[in-house]
């Protein structure tokens, strides 16, 4: 078995990507302190064809050296919006028809494999690396989803968690 060359991957041009159908998943990042994590979300959103990202609170926004370094150009392909706070982004997502789910270890959270993926799409809220999704933000979500974990720590890096949740949503919408 050999690795495929970049030229064999069938990559779209920027114009093709801009007009291609998107996975009906919007990402909302609340006070994500690491610009590297933000860049990772952009790259993952591009890989899975997500509709876009809302950057809330003190989450780093492009152009930003560390975001751009990790995003590898995805800040140009993935639409993004900036908000003072996550509840404002959630209100806009709801107005656009998205079901809004906080990704959090919370009472009443549903397990990732049972996450609803309605036709109108989902907006997924990811919180700060230490504190998670804020309580007042979680209160305005339509529900919460939790990634099952089987180790001692019950803790994932936010961008790693994002990769798992976004893959599951993409798989369910596209495959």
What pLDDT is stored for residue 81 in this prediction?
A: 99
Over residues 23-48, the pLDDT tens digits come to 999 999 999 999 999 999 999 999 99
Rounded distance between C-alpha atoms, residue 117 and residue 111, angstroms: 13
Task: Kindly indicate the confidence band of residue 15, based on its pLDDT and cuts at 50, 70 and 90.
Answer: very high
Q: What is the mean pLDDT of residues 151-171?
A: 98
| Whole-angstrom distance, CA of residue 174 vs CA of residue 23 | 7
- Give the per-residue pLDDT at 80: 99
**Position 17 confidence tier, pLDDT thresholds 50, 70, 90:** very high
| Percent of the chain at pLDDT exceeding 90 | 99
Q: What is the DSSP letter of 83?
A: E
- At 126, is the pLDDT very low, low, confident or very high (cuts 50, 70, 90)? very high
Domain-wise residue ranges, the chain: 34-122+156-175
Q: What is the mean pLDDT of the chain?
A: 98
Mean pLDDT of 43-71: 98
Q: Mean pLDDT lowest for which of 12-16, 27-31, 106-110, 119-123?
A: 12-16
- pTM attached to this predicted model: 0.97
Query: What is d(CA 64, CA 72) in angstroms, rounded to the nearest whole number?
Result: 12
Q: What is the pLDDT of residue 152?
A: 96
Cα separation, 121 vs 165, in Å, equals 14
Residue 4 DSSP label: P
Report CA-CA distances (Å) from 156 to 68, 103, 162. Answer: 23, 11, 9
Cα 125 → chain centroid: 7
Whole-angstrom distance, CA of residue 4 vs CA of residue 11: 12
CATH fold, domain 34-122+156-175, is Alpha/beta knot (3.40.1280)
Helix 35-48 to helix 158-174 angle, to the nearest 10 degrees?
10
The residue-averaged pLDDT of 62-91 equals 98
What is the H or E stretch that residue 174 is in?
A: helix 158-174
- 12-20, long-range: CB < 8 A, 24+ apart: 14/76, 14/77, 17/46, 17/77, 18/77, 20/49
Task: Count CA atoms closer than 13 A to 72's CA, side-chain side.
Answer: 7
For residue 67, the model assigns a pLDDT of: 99
Q: Tell me, what's the pLDDT at 158?
A: 99
């Amino acid at each position: 078995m050999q690795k495929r060359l970049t030229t064999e991957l069938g990559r779209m041009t920027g114009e093709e990507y801009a007009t291609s159908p998107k996975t009906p998943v919007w990402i909302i990042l609340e006070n994500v302190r690491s610009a590297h994590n933000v860049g990772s979300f952009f790259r993952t959103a591009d890989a899975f064809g997500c509709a876009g990202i809302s950057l809330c609170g003190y989450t780093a926004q492009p152009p930003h050296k560390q975001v751009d370094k990790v995003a590898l150009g995805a800040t140009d392909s993935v639409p993004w919006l900036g908000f003072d706070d996550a509840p404002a982004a959630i209100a806009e997502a709801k107005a656009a028809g998205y079901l809004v789910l906080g990704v959090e270890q919370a009472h009443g959270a549903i397990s990732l494999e049972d996450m609803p993926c309605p036709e109108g799409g989902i907006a997924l809220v990811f919180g700060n690396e230490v504190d998670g999704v804020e309580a007042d933000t979680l209160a305005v979500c339509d529900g919460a989803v939790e990634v099952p974990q089987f180790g001692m720590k019950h803790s994932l890096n936010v961008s790693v968690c994002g990769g798992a949740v976004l893959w599951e949503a993409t798989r369910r919408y596209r495959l």
